Structure 1
């Protein structure tokens, strides 16, 4: 008989390995579900704004149903280990900010601690300092007049009187 995988096992399978970072996102998702009374988001009922792009975000996706593709997982790159959850149905919101860890622990010990300690030992609880983001928007595609590839209109720039994509836009920067 096949054993149904636990939520932690599903998160590990999705992420590829166990680690303290995945445990942080797992604990944040479980805590948000408990505190806000929400379940897996089939559409955009639940929104998560993550302030980091680390391992924990994978657990957020698996447990909450928030994803970039649906538009209900939003990256706000402060670098902080913080997750803000919003419930579109009732307006409830919660920001979970990771507390600093005290004392020395191995990676394995830290992971076990995160998964088993009360959430109040792991996170500070507060209201997000920003409003609920709008629902995902659909944009018209524009063909770049330099390379011929399509991009959404909000990613098109005017350069020398031509509509160009960010790859062709000369002043876009050296980020890539």
Structure 2
């Protein structure tokens, strides 16, 4: 019989992230689903997470699932979408999770309070209301049924190559070390991306 995967308490995730908010709650719930459905936490690279945004939710996903940028099993695609795909290398299964509604749609009161607090005329009372509605919106996400928040489906996905370690070379311009596979060739020399002078006629 498979041993159930241990899921971190939400308070541990907020401590890691720095605060509690709807975004971190979304990531926490996504991570819970991934662990439950794939029956695995990434101790190494057996699980891969592909995230399509760089919001607060990604911190929770890293903490809960063990998929991290440093291990090479967290892949960021800058699509600006609350879409999360998890792949289990051991089983070959892939799970895609999509947030059905924005936090504004889920809680219009929180959306209005956030709009006020980030305006130039925000008062102390506006800040207090924002914090109160933020906490309420976060709790709502933590307690809502999965099917109300997310579309969850098994998908066919191409598994990415496992992370590789590349040698470092010195940039011919600044002299700093750069991973060989991220260099550019300029006038026959290897340079880092910030030093590279891109040519374009557009």
Give the TM-score, by structure 2 length: 0.77
Any conservation in 2 of the 1:27–1:115 contact (CA below 8 Å)?
yes
1:140 alignment partner in structure 2: 167
Residues in 2 aligned to 1:172 and 1:102: alpha-carbon distance in whole angstroms: 46
1:104 alignment partner in structure 2: 108
| TM-fit CA distance, 1:128 | 4.8
Match for residue 191 of structure 2 among 164, 168, 171 = 164
| TM-fit CA distance, 1:102 | 4.5
- Residues 172 and 44 of structure 1: CA distance in aligned 2, closer, same or farther (over 3 Å): farther
Residues in 1 aligned to 2:84 and 2:155: alpha-carbon distance in whole angstroms: 9
Residues in 2 aligned to 1:55 and 1:103: alpha-carbon distance in whole angstroms: 18
- Residues 172 and 9 of structure 1: CA distance in aligned 2, closer, same or farther (over 3 Å): farther
C-alpha distance after superposition, 1:12-50 (max 9, x if no partner)? 000000000000000000011112222x31110111011
Residues in 1 aligned to 2:66 and 2:199: alpha-carbon distance in whole angstroms: 33
2:70 alignment partner in structure 1: 69
Any conservation in 2 of the 1:166–1:172 contact (CA below 8 Å)?
no
- Residues 124 and 105 of structure 1: CA distance in aligned 2, closer, same or farther (over 3 Å): farther
2:122 alignment partner in structure 1: none
Structure 1 residues not aligned, in runs of 5+: 1-5
* Structure with more of its chain in helix, by fraction: 2
Give structure 1 regions of 4+ aligned residues with deviation exceeding 6 angstroms: none
Give the TM-score, by structure 1 length: 0.88
- Residues 137 and 77 of structure 1: CA distance in aligned 2, closer, same or farther (over 3 Å): same
Report which of the two structures shows the higher radius of gyration computed on alpha carbons. Answer: 2
| TM-fit CA distance, 1:146 | 1.0
RMSD of Structure 2 on Structure 1 (CA): 1.8
Any conservation in 1 of the 2:182–2:193 contact (CA below 8 Å)?
yes
Any conservation in 1 of the 2:93–2:154 contact (CA below 8 Å)?
no
Number of residue equivalences: 167
1:117 alignment partner in structure 2: 144
Structure 2 residues not aligned, in runs of 5+: 1-7, 111-133
Bigger shift: 96-105 or 71-80?
A: 96-105
1:43 alignment partner in structure 2: 44
- Residues 131 and 148 of structure 1: CA distance in aligned 2, closer, same or farther (over 3 Å): same
